[in-house]
Amino acid sequence: MTPISQPLPDAHSQSAHLATSDLHLARIIVGTDFSVPATVALKTAIAIAKIYGSEILLVHAVTPFMSKQEQEPTTPNAFHAALEGAKAEMRWLVANEPMLRGLQHTSNVCFAEADDLVDQVARTENASLIVVGSHASVGLQRLTLGSVSESILRKAPCPVLIVGPRCHAESEPFRSIVFATDLKTTGLRAAQYAAALAERAQGKITLLHVAPPTTQATEAPEAGQAYLEEELRSLLPADVTRFCQPKIRVEYGVPSEVIPVIAESEAATLIVVGLPHIPTTDVPSSWSTLTNVIHDSRCGVLGVRSHLV
């Protein structure tokens, strides 16, 4: 099997294929703001930790804030009260989550920007996975520039699983995985994760490509459905049938609308997407697509950048 840390071939390399990998998730960071999506994210992380024997590291950031009336920094007493209140809430959360018992876990509450704290802990602890909840507001039609979810996705040294507002906790988070790819920019790293997770759980995997509706009418071979299906099939390892019967799907439409529908039709418990390696200041359509997928899907979305730092 190919270790997941090894460099992967280019997405269009003739030798490229999705290789099942020996994936170890030793430490899982769970960022929480004590909201409902964050609670579901924690339960999902616990289910994953039970599969891999992972350690859970719960983190909460008490973000420095300004007085709404005076627009001036709050007093030291107010900062202290906010910190102590958050620590008490974290203790309550841990004490009232029985599924944490039997798992190695720690918690960390401190003053920081949420994305900075998650990033720092992930790097210091050499985290294998970050799990966060998200309200995934679609009013802006993208992850808001500077939002916690986007910033974590852009900076994280490991894959990030985002649990959206329509998700519920999955006791078997890898039972049915949909790997959605544009076959161009997202590379093979996300495909490796999808295969490795499906193999570990003996789960089902669906490879999905959503093509523009206009390609249905074209006769160009590189745009035809048979060609696209073969491109998806070429991602599969030769021994994939050892652990599952993969499904190949080429659909037509807007990816942000089609992916959640297909995921629901496949009873997906996880969607895996590849994210291009892009400068922090860029706001490409991929982020808009991701926001809508997170908002509309009933399962978590695992984002894996092509190159992790």
Mean confidence (pLDDT) of the chain: 81
Residue 113 structure tokens: 């920007």
Rounded to the nearest 5°, which phi and psi values hold at 19? -105, 130
| pLDDT higher than threshold 80 for residue 286 | no
**Which residues pair with residue 108 across a beta bridge?**
59
What's the rounded Cα separation, in Å, for the pair 34 and 121? 18
In the three-class reduction of DSSP (H, G, I as helix; E, B as strand; rest coil), residue 132 is classed as: strand
Does domain 27-305 sit in CATH 3.90.1530.10? no
pLDDT at 175 exceeding the cut of 90: yes
177 bridge partner residues:
205, 270
Whose CA is closest to 208, among 246, 160, 168? 246
How far is 51 from 201, CA to CA, in rounded Å? Answer: 8
> In terms of DSSP bridges, do strands 300-305 and 160-163 run parallel, antiparallel, or are they unpaired?
antiparallel
- 189 vs 169: which has the higher pLDDT: 169
Distance CA 262, CA 2 (A): 29
Residue 53, phi-psi category: left (phi > 0), alpha (psi -120 to 50), beta (remainder): left
Residue 91, phi then psi, degrees to nearest 5: -60, -40
**pLDDT reading at 177 higher than 80:** yes
Token duo for residue 175: 């039972």
Encode burial over 78-116: b for 16+ CB neighbours within 10 A, e otherwise. eeeebeeebbeebeebbeebebbeebebebbbeebebbe
The pLDDT of 190-194, averaged and rounded, is 87
Q: pTM for the full model? A: 0.85
DSSP string, 204-215: EEEEEEEE-GGG
Quickly state the pLDDT bin for 280 (edges 50, 70, 90): very low
For the residues 47-60, what does the mean pLDDT come to? 96
H/E element, 250: strand 247-252
Point out which residues pair with 109 in neighbouring strands: 60
Q: What's the mean pLDDT in 199-224?
A: 79
- State the alpha helices, DSSP H only, in 53-201: 76-95, 114-124, 148-155, 189-201
User: For 187, phi and psi rounded to 5 degrees?
Assistant: 65, -165
Domain coordinates in residue numbering, the chain: 27-305
Question: For residue 55, what are the β-bridge partners?
Answer: 27
Q: Which residue has the higher pLDDT, 123 or 70?
A: 123
- What pLDDT score does 184 carry? 81
Separation of alpha carbons 132 and 90, rounded Å: 15
- Supply the DSSP string of 100-123, one letter for each residue: GTTS-EEEEEEES-HHHHHHHHHH
pLDDT > 90: percent of the chain: 47
